[in-house]
Structure 1
Amino acid sequence: MREKILSNAAELFLNYGFKSITMDDISNHLGISKKTIYQHFDNKTSLVEAVSLHVFENISCGISGICALKKNPIEEIYDVKQFVLEHLKDEKSSPQYQLQKYYPKIFSTLKKKQFEVMQECVKDNLTRGVEQGLYRSNINIEFISRIYFNCMVTLKDKELFPLNNFSMNTLMEYYLEYHLRGICTEKGLLTLHKFINNQS
């Protein structure tokens, strides 16, 4: 039952936001009493925390699976982007931004975990890109991996990038091209152009 509550609550939170969904909404959606939910979670905050970690673990496993394929590093970046968007419902409800605003402690814990996972994946991507001649050999991998993570977090700031002006998919497309153009060799740019053309 705990897993069922987690997966259903995750779907509701991602579609409508952490703030607007109540425990009543979740119990009605599941067709169970609130008492049943409270047998597994003390309150809404503990449920939000469990859901956040549940979604994080699912996405982390998926990203690790993509990275394990050791694809062309440029293709890998776009595959990760697509996977994340699909699992976060295109971030229509700005879950990360809402988490930061209404549940700052949970957000802080999650951000540290995200950084650890992304650092490993991005540094591996950058290293392989350099080895394959797609990325410039003189890039500072430690610096770029940290800037990459910080920019990805900033894209989710709805005050800076309102959803009525930019969809999350559009923002990520813009940022990935911006990121790759800054580090690609001529060979890498040819690969990037082919990939962009195939996407459109």
Structure 2
Amino acid sequence: MNLKRQAVRERILQAAADLICERGYRATTLDDIARHLGMSKASLYGYFVGKDGILAAISQETMGRFSRALQEIARSPLPPHEKLRRVVHHHVELVLTHRSFLTVFFSEEASLPARFARAMARQKDRYDKGVEKLIQEGIRQGVFREVPPRLVVYALLGMVNWLYKWCDPAGPLGAEEIARAYLDFIERGLLAPKAFQEPQLRRRLLRLRREMDALSQLLASHSAP
């Protein structure tokens, strides 16, 4: 595909994503997209086979961005925890910088024709398994705790995927801050270190008290006439 044709294709997808994001897939027509671009409806058919083809292309482009980044990070020599951080940061950044694409990708999944939906489900499963593999690698190396990797994947991706619903790209939180906060939840959990330290301290004091009581009884028995 030559550069000019590629540029037009990208313009069509962006316009379609913006309109679908605003109106919903069912309420958006090819006429709307063509009018928005100043093109004829017939011209759109030179790039896509109908509205379903446009929706499938938006989903494919989005999934491709996720998958390519994951593959590149997974092949790097970085340690598992740093790989996971890079994946999360990229995922968050993609959601924030391609808001309309991601909104369509997540909210209009049920509108995909069956054959596209099946293909997309397979690609999503491969992505999930790729992230899961990073977590398994970290567990084997002793970097991560022994937890079910798939549950971590669901929790982590559930958090970052939901960003399109509430996060304002123009708001005070950027991709770096959001990714750091999510990673902090996953890597350290929600309880502050003090919450772990206090029970440990109480147990140590209780054990010390028992040992002191035992020592006192022993000394008393030896000093008795």
2:62–2:102 Cα contact (<8 Å) kept: no
Question: What is the CA-CA distance between 1:123 and the residue it aligns to?
Answer: 1.7
- Give the gaps of 5 or more residues in structure 2: 23-27, 191-225
Q: Give me the CA root mean square deviation.
A: 3.7
Correspondence for 2:12: 9
Query: Partner amino acid for 1:97?
Result: T
Question: What is the CA-CA distance between 1:85 and the residue it aligns to?
Answer: 4.8
Question: 1:63 and 1:13 mapped to 2: Cα distance?
Answer: 26
Correspondence for 1:130: 139
Structure 1 residue corresponding to 2:154, chosen from 137, 142, 146: 146
Question: 1:61 and 1:148 mapped to 2: Cα distance?
Answer: 19
Question: What is the CA-CA distance between 1:178 and the residue it aligns to?
Answer: 0.7
1:49–1:106 Cα contact (<8 Å) kept: yes
Question: What is the CA-CA distance between 1:171 and the residue it aligns to?
Answer: 3.4
Question: What is the CA-CA distance between 1:111 and the residue it aligns to?
Answer: 6.6
1:73–1:128 Cα contact (<8 Å) kept: yes
Q: Does 1:52 align with 2:59?
A: yes
Higher-Rg member (1/2): 2
Provide the TM-score with structure 1 as the length reference.
0.65
1:127–1:141 Cα contact (<8 Å) kept: yes
Correspondence for 1:116: 125
Provide the TM-score with structure 2 as the length reference.
0.59
Question: What is the CA-CA distance between 1:135 and the residue it aligns to?
Answer: 0.9
Q: Map 1:16-165 onto structure 2 (within 5 A).
A: 16=18, 18-20=20-22, 22-24=32-34, 27-28=37-38, 33-85=40-92, 87-88=94-95, 90-93=97-100, 95-102=101-108, 104-106=110-112, 109=117, 112-113=121-122, 115-136=124-145, 138-156=146-164, 158=165, 161-163=166-168
Identity %: 16
Q: How many residues align?
A: 175
1:23–1:44 Cα contact (<8 Å) kept: no
Question: 1:119 and 1:103 mapped to 2: Cα distance?
Answer: 17
Instruction: After superposition, give the CA deviation of every residue in 1:140-175 in whole Å (9 maximum; x if it has no partner).
Output: 22322233333333333x2xx352767562433321
Query: Partner amino acid for 2:12?
Result: A
Query: Partner amino acid for 2:63?
Result: F
